[in-house]
Structure 1
Amino acid sequence: MSVSKNNVLPPLIVIVALMLTILVMRGPITCVGALADEIISALQIGYPAYGFLSALPIICFGLFCAVAPTMSKRYGLLLTVLICLGLILAGTLGRLIPIYSVMLLATGLIGIGIAILNVLMPVLLRDYFPKNIPLVMGVFTGFIGFSGSIGAYFSVPLLNASGSLQISLGLWVLMVGLALLLWFLSPRGKQITVSGGVFEWALLKKPLTWAVIFVMGMQSLTIYTTVAWLPTILSTLGFSASEAGLGSAVFLLVSAPASILTAAFIKAVGGERPASLIMTASFAIGIVFWLFGGTWSFVGCVLAGIPQGITFSMAMILMAKKTNSLSQLLVISSLAQGIGYVLAGFGPFICGLLYQGDGQWLSVVGFMLCAVALWGLSAWYAFGDRKLFD
């Protein structure tokens, strides 16, 4: 990787463009869960079809993240970011057409754009803020959570105020368009490129590799399954659509400060292994509390939301600790995100198959608890003394 060594803060317009770009990296996905019933009605589809629709962008995360280094090398990182935002803009526009096949295509474009941004945005941030990497990465993961909470919470109020599903989905057309505009108005810097290491098939024979993959994949599966189905779960428990969206927003919003405090939390509890055990227990208790109804459901959203912020940061820390160089980190990051997000994409779809539309959620909750347990076991094993590369 080559990055600039400029220590001067970028212009304000660039900082705002960066912030807006991060804010469109989760919201266009999480808004779908908050609008689940309206989307199912508008498209005249069943729960399995909705489950596939909500799983599609996460599957795209896994399938297309490996494209990022190649695109950056060919076009430069800034132009690649613009291309990604263009894909997201096309997708958000396409979702305004209430036809299932069009919605699938549009959602796929959104997923591809965000998949590439997932890999390249940390590189861009490192280039612009070379002296503040820990802080900037913490803020980055925090804004990711904030982006998701915007999609989860504001979708239903917009729907209620306008009476139009297109208005709720159209919020993201505006935000992506504004991000693109600011990048076009921003001063041009040097071209930033990313070069990756060499993939070794022997990596897939190592149990540690799969532990790292499951750490990345299961935390992704739990968060995206939650944002896809939590509003529906809460609605069947008697919550209004706005209250159900608020629960999902709380789940995502508390993850933002938690992610920033990950390093302090790990130090306070004495290491990554005890941290992973505590986070596994917290998430599992939170999931069970969802079904209690009333205030307990919101307590569950908090107990599950805090681990989401911390487990995402722990996955990033794990990949860094298990490699010896930046090229090795790029290899395992692409591998873990690629396979991990594909695994994660099955979560919302499997829940769509398990749920029978009868308000009974035990099978879905059981599936979620298994995923959380697998994350905990994988993290406990992966955070040992072993290295991925000799």
Structure 2
Amino acid sequence: MTQNNKPNIAHPILLIISILLIASNLRGPITGIGPILDFISNNLNLSATQAGMLTTLPLLAFAIFSPISSALARRIGLEPSLMIALIAITSGILLRSTGSSLTLYLGTCVIGIGIAIGNVLLPSLLKRDFPNQGPTLTAIYVLTMGVGATLSASTTIPMLNVANNLNVTFIPNWAFALAGTIILPIITMLIWLPQLSNHTKPAVDTPNIDSHSYMWRNKAAWQVSGFLAFNSFIMYAFIAWLPSILVSYGYSEHDAGYIHGVLQLASAAPAVILIPLMAKVKDKRTLGLAMTILAFIGITGLLMLHQYAVIWVTLLGFSCGGGFILGLSFVGLRTHNAHQAASLSGMAQCIGYLFAATSPIIFGSLHEATNSWDMALILAAATSLIWVSLAMFAGKSELINK
């Protein structure tokens, strides 16, 4: 196989469309499970802790496979690696939709592997092939991820109702609902096919854990990693359990699924606002404090005034989405060059996803122990206060030294 460093982008519009379609698959297969998690748990007799594992497993896959995704791309090429990511996502959706506990968990793991590869390699492709349109395309890219997640979260309950109306019996109604998410990755694979004529290498600053072992002993590196870790801890807890929380507060399954979609869309909105704003705000700690305080307001509002859940969820989603963008910007802000930034990014992703993987299980266990979501929300509020303090350290302008 011949390796090319300069891809053929004779049709840049088609390439951009393909990139955005791939981005739309990088969150939806996970968020789509939240609104029907109670149905799955009841049908398969899962405990809250076991149900939380359905969000935890993809995060563990992110932590394990994100650092090695760039090695895959360097071996077989960026374009084939992204096709492998799409095949894994599609296969995982198909597998988990067969209706058994074993295939549900196994398929979820396979989806996580595919998303991990796409998470690492797709931004690399975007930065390498469209360097002059980086901020604009990054904003659109993040927004597209949110739109894909919103569609998935908002359509699973309607798809479940379709299964009930059609009297589908060959698989459970929840499995039929999850199977509906397979349409988007199949379309994306078909549109990505022309790109397989290229076998290019990823950009040099693609996240990868390498010989920069000093990074793991550096205080500033841990500050940035901690900021992203607490961001992910809060976000994925609500991705997993928000619909169940809302149903316990009296919302219908349909409305809970809709508000869960609002969370996803709100998390994408900061890309449009923050990316141009960050160029104007010199002290990034100000933005970090704003985002983290919004999370505390959103969580406490949901706990105390849940009749206004749409408002609180919008604030929470905006906070977590904005915090994620800021966390990524801190990686560049605190490092000397692209190679060092890649090392810090790899470290932060590994720590962040491992930490985030605990939150769905912890939330589920607290609910199981107390038969209420109040303690889980109190924990989330306390976690957000720690996140506030981390914003003051992670957003410093001091560079990481060896």
Give the TM-score taking structure 2 as reference length: 0.90
Shift of 1:255: 2.1
CA deviations on 1:116-151 (whole Å, 9 max, x unpaired) are 211111011123322201111111122222222122
Deviates more, 1:234-243 or 1:97-106: 97-106
Deviates more, 1:255-264 or 1:56-65: 255-264
Tell me how far apart the structure 1 counterparts of residues 5 and 356 of structure 2 sit (CA, whole Å): 31
Query: Of residues 180, 195, 201 in structure 1, which corresponds to 2:213?
Result: 201
Shift of 1:217: 1.3
Tell me how far apart the structure 1 counterparts of residues 19 and 176 of structure 2 sit (CA, whole Å): 25
Query: Of residues 246, 268, 275 in structure 2, which corresponds to 1:263?
Result: 275
In the alignment, structure 1 residue 285 sits paired with structure 2 residue 297: yes
Letter of the 2:147 partner, please give it: F
Answer whether contact 2:299 2:312 (CA < 8 A) is retained: yes
In the alignment, structure 1 residue 327 sits paired with structure 2 residue 327: no
Instruction: Report the counterpart of residue 191 of structure 1 in structure 2.
Output: 200
Tell me how far apart the structure 1 counterparts of residues 108 and 156 of structure 2 sit (CA, whole Å): 17
User: Residue 212 of structure 1 aligns to a residue in which SS?
Assistant: helix
Instruction: Report the counterpart of residue 106 of structure 1 in structure 2.
Output: 107
Answer whether contact 1:219 1:312 (CA < 8 A) is retained: yes
In the alignment, structure 1 residue 155 sits paired with structure 2 residue 132: no
Shift of 1:336: 0.7
Q: Closer, same or farther in 2 for the Cα pair 1:197/1:113, shift >3 Å?
A: closer
Answer whether contact 1:3 1:127 (CA < 8 A) is retained: no
Answer whether contact 2:93 2:181 (CA < 8 A) is retained: yes
Answer whether contact 1:7 1:131 (CA < 8 A) is retained: no
User: Residue 197 of structure 2 aligns to a residue in which SS?
Assistant: coil
Tell me how far apart the structure 2 counterparts of residues 243 and 279 of structure 1 sit (CA, whole Å): 26
Shift of 1:309: 1.8
Tell me how far apart the structure 1 counterparts of residues 306 and 299 of structure 2 sit (CA, whole Å): 14
Letter of the 1:238 partner, please give it: G
Instruction: Report the counterpart of residue 10 of structure 1 in structure 2.
Output: 12
Answer whether contact 1:55 1:346 (CA < 8 A) is retained: yes
Q: Closer, same or farther in 2 for the Cα pair 1:157/1:135, shift >3 Å?
A: same
Alignment of 1:364-379 (within 5 A): 364-379=376-391
In the alignment, structure 1 residue 221 sits paired with structure 2 residue 236: no
Query: Of residues 280, 301, 317 in structure 2, which corresponds to 1:305?
Result: 317
Instruction: Report the counterpart of residue 235 of structure 1 in structure 2.
Output: 247
Query: Of residues 355, 360, 368 in structure 1, which corresponds to 2:372?
Result: 360
- Percentage of matched positions with identical amino acids: 27
User: Residue 357 of structure 2 aligns to a residue in which SS?
Assistant: helix
In the alignment, structure 1 residue 80 sits paired with structure 2 residue 89: no
Shift of 1:3: 5.9
Q: Where do 5+ consecutive residues of structure 2 fail to align?
A: 165-172
Tell me how far apart the structure 2 counterparts of residues 263 and 194 of structure 1 sit (CA, whole Å): 21
Tell me how far apart the structure 2 counterparts of residues 141 and 371 of structure 1 sit (CA, whole Å): 25
In the alignment, structure 1 residue 380 sits paired with structure 2 residue 392: yes
Letter of the 1:388 partner, please give it: I
Instruction: Report the counterpart of residue 180 of structure 1 in structure 2.
Output: 189
Alignment of 1:19-98 (within 5 A): 19-98=20-99
Q: How many residues are aligned here?
A: 388
CA deviations on 1:62-114 (whole Å, 9 max, x unpaired) are 11101111101101000100111111111100111222122111101111111
Instruction: Report the counterpart of residue 116 of structure 2 in structure 1.
Output: 115
CA deviations on 1:286-318 (whole Å, 9 max, x unpaired) are 112223456411110111111122111101101
Shift of 1:373: 2.1
Tell me how far apart the structure 2 counterparts of residues 136 and 124 of structure 1 sit (CA, whole Å): 11
Shift of 1:6: 7.8
Letter of the 2:256 partner, please give it: A
Instruction: Report the counterpart of residue 171 of structure 1 in structure 2.
Output: 180
Answer whether contact 2:135 2:275 (CA < 8 A) is retained: no
Q: Closer, same or farther in 2 for the Cα pair 1:269/1:133, shift >3 Å?
A: closer
Q: Closer, same or farther in 2 for the Cα pair 1:101/1:197, shift >3 Å?
A: closer
Instruction: Report the counterpart of residue 362 of structure 2 in structure 1.
Output: 350
Shift of 1:35: 0.9
CA deviations on 1:336-379 (whole Å, 9 max, x unpaired) are 10111011111101111111276522210122123222222222
